[in-house]
């Protein structure tokens, strides 16, 4: 795959996506969003990929936001189309059916914070900063930030961050549940790959099912979500992976899942 603004590498079942505009703090311009949409679409269909890591190039930024020059040229019609394209990307990541780990190596602001929130698990460097500063520009988040942030942290904390536009440290992001763990910056990618390796040992069918149950269940009343969970369980129980997992437990050995 030849891209101008991202790097992609597949090794041992792990797809590594690196947003590669370090001179622009990895800002999400239109071309970068198009490339991310393309690579995640390919990853979704690639059975060789079981886990994904997304990070930013360089030492300063995961993604420092959207391209402000592009935003300044929008009108109402082009703005809506641009926001829908960014939402399409984040929705695809959230519903990829494969675990997506955000390795937040620096600033994750605006569209970068929205991208990180769409990932299933967020690891942050101890030097990272996160925030939704759009209000300081007289606008609001448009790639899902108002909705995902209020679902990840408390409503009050989400409104505080959205209305103040303040950046927060990785430590504060961990405290409020915006990131899931913090690591020394030089150890961040090792931690991300260690987690990916752990997830690789799980059944990809059960992994996909869990992501589906959580994502779809949150959109339903609790009673309907429980029915969804039971239905997914009943489908999984007849798979080869389920038979292998149960048999391996009884035989006191590690299972060998094949994704079947």
CATH code, domain with 129: 3.90.226.10
Distance between CA 17 and CA 55 in Å, rounded? Answer: 6
Average pLDDT over residues 210-232: 95
Same domain membership, residue 209 and residue 195? no
Judged by DSSP in three states, 64 sits in coil
Average pLDDT over residues 118-141: 97
Average pLDDT over residues 131-150: 96
Average pLDDT over residues 23-32: 95
pLDDT for the residue 4? 95
Same domain membership, residue 121 and residue 219? no
pLDDT for the residue 245? 94
User: Is 257 inside any structural domain?
Assistant: no
Same domain membership, residue 221 and residue 154? no
Dihedral over alpha carbons 6, 201, 118, 149 (to 10 degrees) = -140
Distance between CA 225 and CA 182 in Å, rounded? Answer: 31
Compute the residue count for the chain: 260
Q: What would the pLDDT profile of 48-59 be if each residue is shown by its tens digit?
A: 999 999 999 998
Q: What would the pLDDT profile of 145-188 be if each residue is shown by its tens digit?
A: 999 999 999 999 999 999 999 999 999 999 999 999 999 999 99
Q: Which of 222, 219, 258, 228 is nearest to 242 (CA)?
A: 258
Q: Does residue 31 carry a catalytic annotation?
A: no
Tell me the two tokens of residue 174: 């961990």
Same domain membership, residue 227 and residue 149? no
Q: Which of 104, 26, 106, 9 is nearest to 66 (CA)?
A: 26
How high is the mean pLDDT of the chain?
96
pLDDT for the residue 49? 96
Same domain membership, residue 171 and residue 213? no
Same domain membership, residue 54 and residue 73? yes
Tell me the two tokens of residue 5: 């603004």
pLDDT for the residue 9? 96
- Choose, from 31, 88, 94, 114, the residue flagged as catalytic: 114
Phi and psi at residue 109, to the nearest 5° = -120, 150
Tell me the two tokens of residue 49: 């990929």
Same domain membership, residue 154 and residue 209? no
How many separate domains does the chain show? 2
Q: Which residues form the domain of 225?
A: 204-250
Same domain membership, residue 94 and residue 31? yes
pTM above threshold 0.85: yes
Degrees to nearest 5, angle at CA 136 with 135 and 138: 60
pLDDT for the residue 1? 65
Tell me the two tokens of residue 13: 């079942």
Same domain membership, residue 222 and residue 187? no
Strands 100-104 and 107-109: unpaired
Max CA distance (Å), the chain: 64
Same domain membership, residue 154 and residue 28? yes
Q: Does residue 80 carry a catalytic annotation?
A: no
Dihedral over alpha carbons 110, 185, 24, 113 (to 10 degrees) = -10
- Choose, from 35, 59, 94, 134, the residue flagged as catalytic: 134
Distance between CA 208 and CA 49 in Å, rounded? Answer: 12
Residue % of the chain over a pLDDT of 70: 100
- Residue 79, pLDDT above cutoff 90: yes
Q: Which of 171, 176, 132, 134 is nearest to 151 (CA)?
A: 176
pLDDT for the residue 138? 96
CATH code, domain with 245: 1.10.12
Q: For residue 29, how far is the Cα from the chain centroid?
A: 18
């Amino acid at each position: 795959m030849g891209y101008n603004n991202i790097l992609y590498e597949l090794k041992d079942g792990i797809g590594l996506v690196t947003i590669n505009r370090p001179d622009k703090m990895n800002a999400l311009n239109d071309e970068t969003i198009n490339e991310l949409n393309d690579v995640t679409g390919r990853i979704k269909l690639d059975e060789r990929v079981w886990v994904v890591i997304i990070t930013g190039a360089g030492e300063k930024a995961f993604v420092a936001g959207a391209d402000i020059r592009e935003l300044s040229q929008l009108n109402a019609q082009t703005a809506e189309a641009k926001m829908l394209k960014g939402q399409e990307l984040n929705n695809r990541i959230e519903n990829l059916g494969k675990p997506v780990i955000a390795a937040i190596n620096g600033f994750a602001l605006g569209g970068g914070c929205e991208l990180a929130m769409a990932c299933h698990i967020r690891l942050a460097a101890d030097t990272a900063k996160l925030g939704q500063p759009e209000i300081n520009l007289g606008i609001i988040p448009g790639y899902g930030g108002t909705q995902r942030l209020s679902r990840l942290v408390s409503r009050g904390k989400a409104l505080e961050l959205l209305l103040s536009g303040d950046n927060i440290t990785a430590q504060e992001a961990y405290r409020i549940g915006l990131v899931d763990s913090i690591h020394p910056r030089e150890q961040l990618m090792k931690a991300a790959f260690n987690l990916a390796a752990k997830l690789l040992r799980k059944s990809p069918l059960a992994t996909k099912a869990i992501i589906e149950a959580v994502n779809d269940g949150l959109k339903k009343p609790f009673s309907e979500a429980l029915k969804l969970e039971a239905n997914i369980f009943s489908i999984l129980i007849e798979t080869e992976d389920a038979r292998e997992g149960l048999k391996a437990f009884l035989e006191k050995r590690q299972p060998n899942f094949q994704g079947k």
